[in-house]
Each structure stands twice: as structure tokens, then as C-alpha cells.
Structure 1
Amino acid sequence: MQNGPVFGNMNQFVGLGVFVDTYPNAVKTHDVSRNPSSNCGRHTELVNSAWLKLLVDVDGKQEWRDCAEVSGLRLPAGYYFGASSATGDLSDNHDIISMKVYQLTVERTPEEEEEDEEVVSMPRVDNMKQFEALTEMLCPLSSIQFFFTLLFSILGLGVVAVVGLVLYSRWKENKRKRFY
């Protein structure tokens, strides 16, 4: 692992990364010059029934909760697993207590064995649709979307202000008529 600015690792790498950002930064994107918004939040599409499950013990009470689960994960043979914990000045410390990696043996038919003989050279996830909803939530608005959102927000506020002024003037007029 090479040192760098992204959670203690280098900025661009080839492999599988699990990043847990605990800093409350209002879901802002970082380093958009290297990560264009068209790919924001999308996992790099890089082989079966493999999956990754990430559990966290936030309170330190040995009460492990599901954090993430990815199905269809395919990793090449000979990869190393590592962990990095880098925090900013305002963040809490992060302890990686243990990391358990298993290779499960599954009974398969000869046909399934032939299908799985594909050599995996790059990590990838077969079912990328499982991330689409998350991607749509995390991606920033394009400049055109931002412009129209701002325009309609201002127009909406203007309409609400005009309706409020009309109602206030009618209320004031009705109140004045009672005393004359």
C-alpha cells in the first residue's frame, strides 16, 4: 500500500476499496477533477456467487451491525487484504480490531465448475444494479440541473410571497372596515 491523501492510501488505484467516511461533511464530493460527476458514486466495473459482508461495532459493545453487503463480487487470486484508518483533526479514532477473510467451498455440478473457470484479472461486481439507487442519491447535480432547481425555487418563493402579500392586504382591509 502506498501512502496518499485518500484515507491514508494513494488517490487512484486498481483493486477493491471499502471506504467508511465518518466525517460529517454534508455528503460533498471531493476531488472532482479526478472523479467526474458522470461517474460519481459508481463502482468501477471491473466474476458468481461470491459476496462481501461488512459488519461494524459502532458502540464497542460487541454488537455487530450490518454495514454493507455486496453480492456477485469476484476477486482475482493472489490479492492481499489491507486496512487503512486515517482521520482528520475533528474525527474520532478508528480501531480495526479484526479482519476475517474466508474462502468458502461450495459443492457444484460439473457444468457450474466449467462456468466458473473464468480467470479473473480485475476485481468486479456482477450485479451493478444493486448500487444504482445509492449512486443516484450521492451524485451532485449537473450545472443545468442546479440552474433549473435554483430558478424554480426562486419562482416558487416569489409566488408564495405574492400570495402572502395579497392575503395580508385583504386581511388588513377587512380588519379596517370593521372600525369605520
Structure 2
Amino acid sequence: MFYGKFIFTKFIVVSIFLTPILAEWNTRDYIRREHSLTKPYQGSGMSVPYWDFLGSTIVTSNYVRLTPDLQSKSGAIWNTVPCHTRNWELQVQFKVHGRGKDLFGDGFAIWYTRDRMQHGPVFGSKDYFHGLAIVLDTYSNHNGAHNHQHPYISAMINNGTLHYDHDRDGTHTQLAGCEAKFRNFNHDTHLSIVYRDDTLIVSTDLEGKNAWKECLKVENVLLPTGYFFGASATTGDLSDNHDIIAIKMYELDLLESQNKHEDRSNIIPSAASFEAPRDRVEDSKPAMSGVKTFLYMMFVAIVIIVIVVLGIMWYQKRQEHSRKRLY
């Protein structure tokens, strides 16, 4: 009898100590299928449950290709179900690859926005959006003042009034960012976007180590519930294959400090701070070619010679007129 009580007591004690650990693990176990995209992709016919496609997007048995490695392509994939979860994590398994070694582009973006299925200039989706964009930019056009290399990952919050300045790589509206060499790996690469307790954390696993490396962390970020997840990509004069392998959305537990009855559907997307703005530097004028330089110098020389000749002629006439007056 005593032995039985001892076993029961030991079980209770172990359970008490293990409960917080298991609870922490389980926060990543609650996957929301209606916001996730995993193999096999197809449902009945050519449709994919919970997802719509736009532009050049194609679905294969191994990946969803937003753009092929061809010029001037644009594609997107959008979740059909709005997300009403307050704390969430989105894990994206992707692959960006192409023939380009030194020149490639343009990149892709992961979205949590009010409007879906709207084509536009920001990596295949609309500008002046409402919500969150995580931009994975592969193309550096060397315009303006940059202090980073490409590829580059950045976060942007928009309330519908901000313009994504593609010519300046969005550096004037980003919250934060990091360099991330994610192209042309033989293995798949991973991105984690965590939004919890008004804090945004973006992490990467680019080396296949099954360990997240933090890219950026921004506090005091407000995002409403009821927006849509999506991904879009675009190519221009340069190109890449932009492949989505899987999207998994996890519902995270509310913290004790969070009011579970709070209505967050009407919150205006905002962030308390941005990276320090950089002065906009206009592109320097291209240097003239050797032929243009030669012609320009020749023109200047001719003008000088003409002025000198006219000056001499004027001086000689004046001298001649002076001699006539003396006689």
C-alpha cells in the first residue's frame, strides 16, 4: 500500500515539473491546416485546398513555382481563409535558384495583408498595402545609399499610405533587415516569421542545420487579426526560379499578460520605430565615353580658336583705324 502511494506521489511530482516543458513544446505542435500548404498539394482536379494562384504560378508534385527562371514573370499564391489567430508562427520552406551566378533577380515576399490576389509592382503584389511584408530581395540595382549586400531580408509594416521604393530596395520604409545568402543551395532553405505579443521575429535556417538564426526582431508591432497570408515573386531583366516547398502556420498560446477577449480586428497596422532613414542619394551621371569626350574637347578648342581669331581681327582693325586718324 505504501509502495503504491509512493509511485502515485512520484507521478504527480514528475507531472508538475514536466507540464510547463510539454506546454512549451506543444505551442509549436498546433498546426493550422487551413493556413498551411504541404505535399501533396492538389485536391480534386487542379485546385489546392485553401489556396488560390495568380500569374505565372505552377504547381508540381514537389514544389509550387511562383516564377520560372525567365524574364518578366510574376506569380503569387494566396490563402483563402483569413487568420483570426493573435499569436502565430509561419514557417516557409523555399528554394531560390537559377542560372545566374553574379546577376539575378528580383526576389519574393511573404505577406500578411488585408487584400489578397492583387497583382502589383512590389514583388508581384500591390503597393500601398495594409499589413506586413517580409521581403527577400535578391537584386541589387546599386541605386542610392546602401550599407548591405544582396540577397537581403527586410520587414515592412504598411497602413496603406507608404510606397515601397523598389529603386532604393525599400530601405527607407523597412523596420529592420539582415543579409542572407539563400540562393542556389542543393538543400531547401527555411524562413520563420513569429508574431507574438506584438513582437515580430524573423529567423532563417539556410544551411540545413535544423536551427534558427535570428535575422531581425522588432517590438511594438501592431497587426490586426483577419488578414491573409500569401507569397509572391517577380523577375525583370534578370530572373530566378522562386519555389515554395511548404508553408506551415502554427497557432501560439496567448501569454498571461494578453487579454484573450480583446478585439484586434480593427487595429491599424503600425510599428513604434523604424530604422533610421537614410538620405536619398540620386544616381550619379554616367561618365562620357572616350569618343564623346574627344568631340566635346574638340568643340571647346574650336570655340576658343574662333574667339581668339575674332579678337585678333578686331584688334587689327582698331589699330588700322587709329593709323588713319594720325594721317
Calculate the TM-score normalised by the size of structure 2: 0.31
CA contact (8 A) 1:57 1:65 kept: yes
Following the alignment from structure 1 to structure 2, what is the Cα–Cα distance between the partners of residues 64 and 36? 28
CA contact (8 A) 1:73 1:123 kept: no
Q: 1:106 to 1:122 in 2, by over 3 A?
A: closer
Following the alignment from structure 1 to structure 2, what is the Cα–Cα distance between the partners of residues 79 and 6? 18
Whichever structure has more helix as a proportion of its residues is 1
Look up the match of 2:214.
Answer: 66
1:54-78 per-position Cα deviation (integer Å, ceiling 9, x unaligned): 2334466766543333323322221
CA contact (8 A) 2:144 2:281 kept: no
Look up the match of 1:119.
Answer: 264
CA contact (8 A) 1:56 1:64 kept: yes
How many Å apart are 1:108 and its aligned residue?
2.0
Query: Aligned to 1:41, which of 172, 181, 186?
Result: 172
Following the alignment from structure 1 to structure 2, what is the Cα–Cα distance between the partners of residues 27 and 141? 8
How many Å apart are 1:36 and its aligned residue?
9.8
Kindly tell me the number of residue pairs found equivalent between the two proteins. 127
1:64-112 per-position Cα deviation (integer Å, ceiling 9, x unaligned): 5433333233222211111112233324323333333333223425xx5
Q: Unmatched 5+ residue regions in structure 1? A: 147-180
Query: Aligned to 2:229, which of 78, 81, 106?
Result: 81
How many Å apart are 1:20 and its aligned residue?
1.9
CA contact (8 A) 2:226 2:265 kept: no
**Is 1:140 the counterpart of 2:288 in the alignment?**
no
Following the alignment from structure 2 to structure 1, what is the Cα–Cα distance between the partners of residues 164 and 124? 22
Whichever structure has more strand as a proportion of its residues is 2
Following the alignment from structure 1 to structure 2, what is the Cα–Cα distance between the partners of residues 103 and 123? 22
Query: Aligned to 1:92, which of 219, 227, 240?
Result: 240
The DSSP-based 3-state class of the residue aligned with 2:121 is strand
* Aligned AA (2:119): N
Following the alignment from structure 1 to structure 2, what is the Cα–Cα distance between the partners of residues 36 and 90? 20
Look up the match of 2:125.
Answer: 9
Following the alignment from structure 1 to structure 2, what is the Cα–Cα distance between the partners of residues 13 and 90? 25
The DSSP-based 3-state class of the residue aligned with 2:242 is coil
The DSSP-based 3-state class of the residue aligned with 2:229 is coil
How many Å apart are 1:140 and its aligned residue?
1.1
Calculate the TM-score normalised by the size of structure 1: 0.51
1:9-53 per-position Cα deviation (integer Å, ceiling 9, x unaligned): 122222222222110212549xxxx8499x972359xxx823232
Following the alignment from structure 2 to structure 1, what is the Cα–Cα distance between the partners of residues 136 and 211? 18
How many Å apart are 1:132 and its aligned residue?
2.8
Following the alignment from structure 2 to structure 1, what is the Cα–Cα distance between the partners of residues 164 and 134? 20
Following the alignment from structure 1 to structure 2, what is the Cα–Cα distance between the partners of residues 126 and 36? 16
1:135-165 per-position Cα deviation (integer Å, ceiling 9, x unaligned): x34x4148xxx9xxxxxxxxxxxxxxxxxxx
Identity among equivalent positions (%) equals 37
Q: 1:90 to 1:43 in 2, by over 3 A?
A: closer
* Aligned AA (1:17): A
Max Rg structure: 2
Q: 1:11 to 1:127 in 2, by over 3 A?
A: closer
The DSSP-based 3-state class of the residue aligned with 2:280 is coil
Following the alignment from structure 1 to structure 2, what is the Cα–Cα distance between the partners of residues 64 and 94? 21
CA RMSD of aligned residues (A): 3.9
CA contact (8 A) 1:16 1:123 kept: no
CA contact (8 A) 2:199 2:218 kept: yes
* Aligned AA (1:132): E
Look up the match of 1:167.
Answer: none
